[in-house]
């Protein structure tokens, strides 16, 4: 942790303090760190591209709107590679709130999220995006397919032993 001292003119300092108070920050440092992170993230977003990210896209829509619910579902199926999960809440007789968790290259994720939000009848659309460090993927996934290393070994899944692969002949 490094200590940074800043000089601000009175008016800006007051604005900052009031903002931090409204946002319920306990300290100026935490408020400033979040401001800074937000700005730096925006910078990364503007560059977009292939960087890995996780995101949620949330919106409200009227499920009576012609074909909208089925259009949204089809769009998500068409992007199953980046759609991890969807939460659907029936808010009242007409309105549904939907939140989808996405993961993938930033430009693909953003353009899909934007396409959902831009659908006719979708309201209050918001994207929350978190840039992720580059994925390193050199470790083994023993559950995906039995390998020589895992063949015949028992794995405990939810308390129940399960044999993966074939038991080696004695
Ligand atoms: Ni609903």
Domain boundaries, the chain: 10-47, 52-131
Please, what is the Cα angle at 105 between 72 and 100, to 5 degrees?
30
Could you name the CATH architecture of 10-47?
Orthogonal Bundle (1.10)
Distance CA 51, CA 49 (A): 6
pLDDT digits (tens), the chain, 170 positions: 899 998 999 999 999 999 999 999 999 999 999 999 888 877 777 777 888 999 999 999 999 998 999 999 999 999 999 999 999 999 999 999 999 999 999 999 999 999 999 998 999 999 999 988 876 666 676 666 555 554 444 444 444 444 555 555 55
| 104: nearest Cα among 78, 130, 75, 126 | 130
What separation in Å is there between the alpha carbon of 74 and the centre of ligand 1?
16
Rounded to two decimals, the pTM is: 0.64
Residues with CB under 5 A from ligand 1 (ion): 90, 96
For residues 102 and 58, give the distance between their C-alpha atoms in angstroms, rounded to a whole number.
11
d(CA 5, ligand 1 centre) in Å? 51
Distance (Å) from CA 64 to ligand 1 centroid = 10
The two tokens of residue 159 are 């308390």
Beta strands 154-157 and 122-131, pairing class: unpaired
The alpha carbon of 127 and the centre of ligand 1 are apart by a number of angstroms equal to 20
What Cα–Cα distance (Å) separates residue 103 from each residue in 13, 23, 80, 82, 161?
38, 28, 10, 5, 32
Give the Cα separation of 132 and 106 in Å (integer): 10
Considering only the top CATH level, what class is 52-131?
alpha beta
């Amino acid at each position: 942790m490094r200590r940074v001292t800043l000089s601000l003119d009175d008016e800006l300092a007051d604005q900052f303090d009031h903002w931090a108070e409204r946002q319920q920050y306990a300290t100026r440092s935490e408020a400033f760190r979040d401001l800074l992170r937000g700005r730096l993230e925006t910078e990364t977003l503007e560059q977009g591209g292939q960087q890995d990210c996780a995101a949620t896209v949330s919106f409200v829509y009227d499920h009576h709107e012609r074909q909208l619910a089925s259009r949204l579902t089809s769009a998500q199926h068409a992007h199953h590679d980046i759609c991890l999960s969807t939460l659907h809440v029936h808010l009242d007789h007409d309105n549904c709130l939907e939140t989808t968790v996405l993961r993938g290259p930033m430009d693909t994720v953003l353009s899909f999220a934007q396409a959902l939000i831009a659908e006719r009848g979708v309201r209050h659309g918001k994207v929350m995006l978190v840039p992720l460090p580059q994925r390193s993927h050199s470790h083994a996934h023993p559950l995906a397919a039995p390998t020589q290393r895992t063949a015949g070994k028992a794995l405990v899944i939810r308390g129940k032993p399960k044999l993966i692969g074939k038991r080696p002949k004695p």
